[in-house]
Amino acid sequence: MTRDFNGGEPDCILRLSGITKSFGSTEVIKSLDLKIDRGAFITLLGPSGSGKTTLLRMIGGFTAPDSGQIIINGKQYENLPPEKRPTSMMFQSYALFPNLTVFENVAFGLRVRKFPRREIDTKVHEMLELVDITNLKGRYPKQLSGGQRQRVALARSLVIEPDILLLDEPFSALDESLRSTMQLEMRDIQKRTGVTTIAVTHDQDEAMILSDHIALMGNGRIVQYGIPTSLYDFPVDLYAAGFMKVENILNGRIDRVSGTGAVFTMAASSLSIPSSEDDAPGRSVAIGIRSEEIRIEGCSQPETASLGENQLIGRVAEFYLKGENVLLRVQTEIGFLETRTKRKHYNEFRDHPVLVTIPSESVIRLK
Amino acid sequence: MGLLTLAYVILFVSSTSTMAPGTLSFGAPYDFSNYARFADDAILKGVVVYTIVYSIFVTAAVLLLAFPFCYAIVRIRRKWLRSLFLFVLVVTFFSGTITRAYSWLIVLGKRGPFNDLMLQLGLIDQPLSLIYNTTGVTIALLHYLFPYGAFVLIGTLKNLPEIYEEAAQDLGAGRLYTFIRVIIPQSLGGLGSAWILVYSLSLSTFVMPLLLGGGKVVLLSNAVYREVELNYDIPYAAAVAIIFVLASILTISLAYLLGKVVPRVLANRALASRA
C-alpha cells in the first residue's frame, strides 16, 4: 500500500475509523474511531464484554473487523494478517513456546526475519538485560515463575521493535504483591524504549497508573477518552461514573438556573451544582459526588443547627474501617450518602448526628 | 488379559513341539529345534526383515500424509466442512478389510476406472499394472492405515492451543514456518503414539498382501499362514510367529525409546550451546 492516509498528522501512529464487529448476532464493536500518537501509553479500560479485547485483537490482526479501517503509520492494515503488521502482542497467558528456552523464545521473531546470528545474539542479550532476566536465558518456560514469564514475553515482543506494543490484561495473571512492582517497571521500560503501547485492562487503578490516555469502553463504544485525571474527576455519564467508582449518584431535577450555577432538587431538598448547557427548569439530571469530597462533622444539636448551602443533617448508618480511614454510610433526607474521613476525626463524633457538606464545585454533572 | 496370555502360552508350547510325520498331530519331542530351523531358513528370515523394513516405510508415508491433513481439519473454521472430512474418515472404518481390498482390485484393475481415466487424459499409453503386486498392496495398505493414524493425530492436534500459532504469527512467522517450528515440536508425543499404532497394524497386516499381492507379496503373517495351511507345520509356524512377536516388540520399543531420548538430546544440546 503506497497511499499515505495520515495526510498532515505525522505523529498519529494508529488511526481506527468506522470499526465495527459482530460475532453472530451480537454487535461487539459499534462504529468506533480512535487516534493514537507515537510513544503514548493508552489503556482500553472496561468490564468484560465491553469489546476491549476484541479491539486489541483487531489491531493485532487476529480478528478482522466487519468494516472500517486500521491505519498504522499511514498504511492500511485491516486486511493483512498478524505476520505482516508492525505490531506485537503480549498475550494474557504469555504464550511462550514450551519447547524453546528463554533465549530461543526471545530470538524467535529475529530468526523468522533471518537476522544474522551475531546480531540476534546482541539484540537478545540487550533485551534480556532490559527486562532483567539475563540469568534465565537457558531455562524453559515451565521452569519460570509467572513474573519471569511475563518478562520473557515482553522481551520477545520488544526485541523485534514493533511500532505498536499490545498488552492483553498484562498483570491479571500476577498476584497482588507483584503487580504494583511490575506496573511501575512496565511504565519505566515503555518510557525508555519509547514504544507506543496499547493495553487492555478492567482494573481502573492500573489504567490510572500506567496510561497517558484512557479509553473507557462500554457496549462496544468508547464512552470517554482522556487523561486519567479527567476520567476520574469528570466522568461523562452514569456508566463512566459507575465504572470509575463514583460512590454517590443522585437523580433529580433542575429547579432554576442562575449566573453562578444551577439548583438541583431531589425529594424536597436542594443542592447548588455547577450549571451545564441545556440546563432548564424541570429537566431531569443525574449528578455524582465522590465520597472523599463530602465533608462530615459532628452535630450536637441537629434541631437548632443553621444549615448553609449544600448542608444536610444526617445519621451514620454503617461504618467500615479501611486503614487510617473510615468509610461511612450516612442517612440523610436525600438518601444514603457514602463518605469517608480519618479515623481520628470519626472518633470525635461517633454515635452523634452529623452535619454533611457537599461542596458544589465537587458535584459531577452526568449525562 | 488372561485369555491373551493363555493364547501366547499355548503358542509358545506349540512352537517347541514337533510335527509327527505323516499325521496331523503334533506333540513330543518338545525342544527348540524349530527355532534352530528358522535360523537356517533364509527365505523366512528374509520375510521377517522385509516386513519390518516395509512397515517402517509404510508407517512413515501414512504419517507424512496424515499429519498435514489432520492439521488442516482441526483448523477449519467452517463446521460443516470439518464434519464432512471427519465423516469421510469414519466411513472408511465401516467397510471391512476384505470389502476394501476387493474395491481396490476393481478400482486399480487394468480395465478399472483409474486406468480408464489416465488413458482418457492421455497421461499414459498403456494401462498401469497396479494390482497383484507390491504397488497395489501398498496403496491399499496406506488407505487402510490412514484413518488409524489420523484419529490419533487429530486427538493430539485438537488439544494444541491455538495461541502458540497466534504468537508465532504475531512475531512474523508465516503458516509454514509456524507449522515446522511450533506445531511439529509440540506434536511429537502424538506422532509417537500414532507411529506405534500404525506400525503395529502394518507389521501384522494379512488381508491386503493376500488379496492384492497375487501371491507375490509375502509378509510375515502370510508366511505363517502358509506354514499352517500349505505345509501344515503348526509348530514351525508357531515358532516363526513367536520370533516375529519378539522382533516387533523390539522395534516398537526402539521407536518408543527414540521418542523419549531424541527430544532430550536436542534439548541438552540447545542448553549447552547457550550456557
In tens, the pLDDT along A209-265 reads 999 999 999 988 999 999 999 999 999 999 999 999 999 999 998 888 887 788 888
Residue A61 lies in a domain: yes
* Domain identity same for A279 and A348: yes
Percentage of chain B lying above the pLDDT 70 cut: 91
How many CB pairs (< 8 A) connect A and B? Answer: 67
C-alpha A308/C-alpha B173 separation (Å) is 69
Smallest Cα distance from B119 to chain A, Å: 44
Helix, strand and coil percent figures for chain B, each rounded to 5: 75, 0, 20
Give the pLDDT confidence score for residue B218 in this predicted structure.
Answer: 86
Residue A221 lies in a domain: yes
Q: Which residue has the cell 525342544?
A: B31
The pLDDT of A113-130, averaged and rounded, is 94
Does residue B30 belong to the interface with chain A, where contact is any CB pair within 8 Å? no
- The answer to whether B173 contacts A89, with C-beta atoms less than 8 Å apart, is no
- The answer to whether A97 contacts B164, with C-beta atoms less than 8 Å apart, is yes
**8 A C-beta contact, residue A271 and residue A340:** no
The winner for highest mean pLDDT among A8-12, B55-59, B264-268 is B55-59
* Domain identity same for A224 and A356: no
The pLDDT of B65-94, averaged and rounded, is 86
Q: Which grid coordinates are listed for B216?
A: 507375490
Last residue of a domain, one of A190, A207, A241: A241
What are A63-104's pLDDT values in tens digits? 999 999 999 998 999 899 999 999 999 999 999 999 899 999
Nearest alpha carbon to residue A165 among A59, A81, A53:
A59
Give the pLDDT confidence score for residue A5 in this predicted structure.
Answer: 56
Give the pLDDT confidence score for residue A152 in this predicted structure.
Answer: 95
Kindly identify which residue of chain A lies nearest to residue B169, measuring between CA atoms. Answer: A83
pLDDT tier at A1 (50, 70, 90 boundaries)? very low
Question: Any long-range contacts for B126-133 (C-beta under 8 Å, 24+ apart)?
Answer: B131/B104, B131/B105, B131/B212, B131/B214, B132/B212, B132/B213, B132/B214, B132/B215, B132/B216, B133/B213, B133/B214, B133/B216, B133/B217
pLDDT tier at A41 (50, 70, 90 boundaries)? very high
Kindly identify which residue of chain B lies nearest to residue A90, measuring between CA atoms. Answer: B167
- The answer to whether A97 contacts B171, with C-beta atoms less than 8 Å apart, is no
The pLDDT of B151-155, averaged and rounded, is 91
Does residue B174 belong to the interface with chain A, where contact is any CB pair within 8 Å? yes
C-alpha B188/C-alpha B260 separation (Å) is 10
The pLDDT of A15-35, averaged and rounded, is 91
Average pLDDT, chain A: 90
pLDDT tier at B20 (50, 70, 90 boundaries)? low
Residue A237 lies in a domain: yes
pLDDT tier at B221 (50, 70, 90 boundaries)? confident
* Domain identity same for A211 and A270: no
**8 A C-beta contact, residue A155 and residue A165:** no
Kindly identify which residue of chain B lies nearest to residue A136, measuring between CA atoms. Answer: B275
C-alpha B272/C-alpha B275 separation (Å) is 5
Residue A2 lies in a domain: no
* Domain identity same for A194 and A76: yes
- The answer to whether A93 contacts B275, with C-beta atoms less than 8 Å apart, is no
The pLDDT of A124-138, averaged and rounded, is 92
Burial of B254 (C-beta count, 10 Å sphere; 0-12/13-18/19+): exposed
* Domain identity same for A196 and A296: no
Q: Which residue has the cell 444536610?
A: A312
* Domain identity same for A224 and A253: no
Give the pLDDT confidence score for residue B154 in this predicted structure.
Answer: 92
C-alpha A235/C-alpha A204 separation (Å) is 13
Could you give phi then psi for residue A106, rounded to 5 degrees? -65, -35
Instruction: Report pTM.
Output: 0.81
What are B98-134's pLDDT values in tens digits? 888 888 888 888 888 888 888 888 888 888 888 888 8
- The answer to whether A112 contacts B185, with C-beta atoms less than 8 Å apart, is no
What are B159-189's pLDDT values in tens digits? 888 999 999 999 999 888 888 888 888 888 8
C-alpha B257/C-alpha A308 separation (Å) is 87
Residue A250 lies in a domain: yes
Give the pLDDT confidence score for residue A8 in this predicted structure.
Answer: 60
* Domain identity same for A173 and A55: yes
C-alpha B73/C-alpha B80 separation (Å) is 11
Of B170, B173, B177, nearest to A60 by CB-CB distance is: B170
* Domain identity same for A230 and A276: no
CA distances from B45 to A232, A287, B18, B52, B237 (A): 85, 94, 20, 11, 13
Question: Any long-range contacts for A339-346 (C-beta under 8 Å, 24+ apart)?
Answer: A339/A291, A339/A292, A339/A294, A339/A296, A340/A291, A340/A292, A341/A296, A346/A319
- The answer to whether B173 contacts A95, with C-beta atoms less than 8 Å apart, is no
Please tell me the least confidently modeled range out of A188-197, B25-34, B133-142.
B25-34
Q: Is the pLDDT of residue A3 over 70?
A: no
Give the pLDDT confidence score for residue A255 in this predicted structure.
Answer: 86
pLDDT tier at A309 (50, 70, 90 boundaries)? confident
Contacts of A87 in chain B (CB under 8 A): 170
- The answer to whether A101 contacts B185, with C-beta atoms less than 8 Å apart, is no
Tell me the three state secondary structure of residue A234.
coil
CA distances from B71 to B74, B93, B130 (A): 5, 20, 30
CATH value at residue A39: 3.40.50.300
Percentage of chain B lying above the pLDDT 90 cut: 16
For residue A109, give the H/E element and its range. Answer: helix A102-112
Nearest alpha carbon to residue A109 among A122, A95, A124:
A124
Kindly identify which residue of chain B lies nearest to residue A98, measuring between CA atoms. Answer: B186
- The answer to whether A138 contacts B271, with C-beta atoms less than 8 Å apart, is yes
Percentage of chain A lying above the pLDDT 90 cut: 62
- The answer to whether B170 contacts A89, with C-beta atoms less than 8 Å apart, is yes
Complex ipTM: 0.82
* Domain identity same for A271 and A129: no
C-alpha A204/C-alpha A206 separation (Å) is 5
Per the model's pLDDT, the better-predicted residue between B232 and B220 turns out to be B220
Residue A267 lies in a domain: yes
Smallest Cα distance from B169 to chain A, Å: 5
Contacts of A104 in chain B (CB under 8 A): 270, 274
- The answer to whether A83 contacts B170, with C-beta atoms less than 8 Å apart, is yes
Q: Is the pLDDT of residue B230 over 90?
A: no
* Domain identity same for A276 and A192: no
Last residue of a domain, one of A212, A241, A270: A241
C-alpha B74/C-alpha B160 separation (Å) is 10
Give the pLDDT confidence score for residue B24 in this predicted structure.
Answer: 65
- The answer to whether B171 contacts A160, with C-beta atoms less than 8 Å apart, is yes
What is the third-level CATH fold of B41-266?
Answer: MetI-like fold (1.10.3720)
* Domain identity same for A86 and A202: yes
Which of B160, B171, B178, B183 is best to mutate for the A interface (most A CBs within 10 A)? B171
C-alpha A186/C-alpha A237 separation (Å) is 31
Q: Is the pLDDT of residue B193 over 50?
A: yes
> What is the span of the domain harbouring residue A271?
246-366
Residue burial B136-149, b: 16+ Cβ < 10 Å; e: rest = bbbbbbbbbbbbbb
**8 A C-beta contact, residue A210 and residue A183:** yes
Does residue B274 belong to the interface with chain A, where contact is any CB pair within 8 Å? yes
CA angle A330, A331, A332 (to 5 degrees): 115
The total number of structural domains that make up chain A: 2
Last residue of a domain, one of A222, A241, A260: A241
Q: Which residue has the cell 441545556?
A: A278
Does residue B64 belong to the interface with chain A, where contact is any CB pair within 8 Å? no
* Domain identity same for A263 and A335: yes
Give the pLDDT confidence score for residue B275 in this predicted structure.
Answer: 41
